Structure 1
């Protein structure tokens, strides 16, 4: 959560050739009666069924998808507003899904390593866009989110848990990048917001989504700042210059240092500058992003066993 994935998914789903599914694994987490092993199997099963457009055998999930629980599924919302009877028929969703060239799933609650079994299934032809965001920015954003939605609880800002998740994904990313170099790519949220058009074109090419004039115009509106920045905590528009690094001006240095200590290996792996003092943190002349080694060498260098 707060990784920028909604913003990136929004840019990648402007083509009518995509079929988008919002965080389908969400409902499986927090179920105390379900073992971790069964939970993982359930998640893989539903992801497989969505990728294969098998909505009819998932009535419980389909009802949530249509009712608006997964509220970024724009095709479903439009369909429900125009032809309500078709909207509630899972066969309609299966047909829309089957007609699409690319099935795009946004996954936040699932560890990267949990997807490995699906990469082995050739009929799925799964590709992974591994989106990362500076963990200091994630922590700062979550603190602001809790101010707006206190019911989410302070566990959301647990630095040890956040960095633990980053570390697990980093370790797995090195393996996946080695085994599936043409089906894995790493994308920094900060790069997507600062160089929106370049990175949007690269992601469309990687995923096999046509970069049409309609897509280009929508991306250009974001890149040129023609879309007003959305202040809503779940908003989709961003100010590419300010939004990714706003935390540098407001986040207390003691909290920045806590995240840096916990996430040291992750920061180095993904090319994020470590600030040694508050003066460095506030010095806008110091670029927060540092060059990364080509060909996923950063991942290999800093994955489990690598130096921080």
Structure 2
């Protein structure tokens, strides 16, 4: 029986053609990986699809973006995986802290088949994992019935980036010791007063906007707990900087917001990728207010960063600031944030929150 498709249904025809093309392309891509020549002559999937074929070096860039919740890591993660030759995984340790470094190492090696349940969450869940791969999974779900496509996309990427939130920095040490991976760590910090203010605002928002209020329990709203985490991570950061030179760097969210081009150029050099026009365009869209209509959602990565970086000062009372500073004064000083000593000072120096870093802290920033 012949199936006739009316020419008066162009949208149906387009969908059929698109689906057919996607199946063919993905089949070719998987074959490309499985039957590829030696690594030094291998074509990356994303370059083949988006940039045209050319010979590239086998990827040796594995980067951990490490931070706490509400520190701007969604934005930085978006900016670091702007090029087409990256593979991005968000918050793999959320709810899996016990799996630790071994799990992260397996993800760096693209071994999704070892974690079938997690793979389903990775490909079908709400996290903003690798965009190109998840787009293929969404358009043609059968392509992601097993991890073959995802592993293929991961294996040919120049950069494999994992964003880790709400886990002790010390977990990364075995990965830095693993000479087969040569992992680099980008440690993102934000003024703890701003972090707590942001968490408070998220909790107070209407849950209908897709906000997960349960992510912030009482402990995560406690300044003493939050700043104890900062102290422990700072101790670990000093160890990493000394023991693994050139493979750890610190970035303050405030510096990223005020000087995005400078900081992104530095970070791209650190992770071993070129700073291209694509990256510059991404900065313009995400950080200079080009997409302001999309910036009101609490998890949006679009904002006018220079205008909003110290916005928390207008929402937090001096009494709350004092309460946080009692628990976090040493942390604020160590990371180069001003400690306000009076209400008058707090209300008059809103644009002077950042202070010069000490020589010791400067060593953590390559």
TM-score when normalising by structure 1: 0.88
2:279 to 212, 215, 233: 215
Pair 1:8-2:76 in alignment: yes
1:58 to 108, 115, 120: 115
Pair 1:283-2:343 in alignment: no
CA distance in 1, matches of 2:182, 2:363: 26
Which deviates further from its counterpart, 231-240 or 181-190?
231-240
1:135 to 192, 216, 221: 192
What is the CA distance between 1:297 and its match in structure 2? 5.1
Report SS of the residue matched to 2:88: strand
Q: Could you say which residue in structure 2 is the equivalent of 1:28?
A: 96
What is the CA distance between 1:76 and its match in structure 2? 3.2
What is the CA distance between 1:288 and its match in structure 2? 0.4
| Residues 1:57 and 1:72: Cα distance change in structure 2 (over 3 Å) | closer
What is the CA distance between 1:81 and its match in structure 2? 2.6
Q: Could you say which residue in structure 2 is the equivalent of 1:242?
A: 307
Q: Which runs of 5+ in 2 are unaligned?
A: 1-68, 208-212
Report SS of the residue matched to 1:242: helix
Report SS of the residue matched to 1:130: strand
Pair 1:157-2:214 in alignment: no
2:328 to 250, 263, 268: 263
CA distance in 2, matches of 1:15, 1:298: 28
Q: Could you say which residue in structure 2 is the equivalent of 1:303?
A: none
Q: Could you say which residue in structure 2 is the equivalent of 1:107?
A: 164
Q: Could you say which residue in structure 1 is the equivalent of 2:361?
A: 296
Q: Which runs of 5+ in 1 are unaligned?
A: 30-38, 300-308
CA contact 2:187–2:248 (8 Å) conserved in 1? yes
CA contact 1:230–1:237 (8 Å) conserved in 2? yes
What is the CA distance between 1:250 and its match in structure 2? 1.7
List aligned pairs for 1:217-232, cutoff 5 A. Answer: 217-228=281-292, 230-232=295-297
Q: Could you say which residue in structure 2 is the equivalent of 1:34?
A: none
What is the CA distance between 1:220 and its match in structure 2? 2.6
The one of the two structures with greater contact order (alpha-carbon pairs below 8 A, sep at least 6) is 1
Tell me the C-alpha RMSD between the 2 structures. Answer: 1.9
What is the CA distance between 1:265 and its match in structure 2? 1.8
TM-score when normalising by structure 2: 0.75
Q: How many residues align?
A: 289
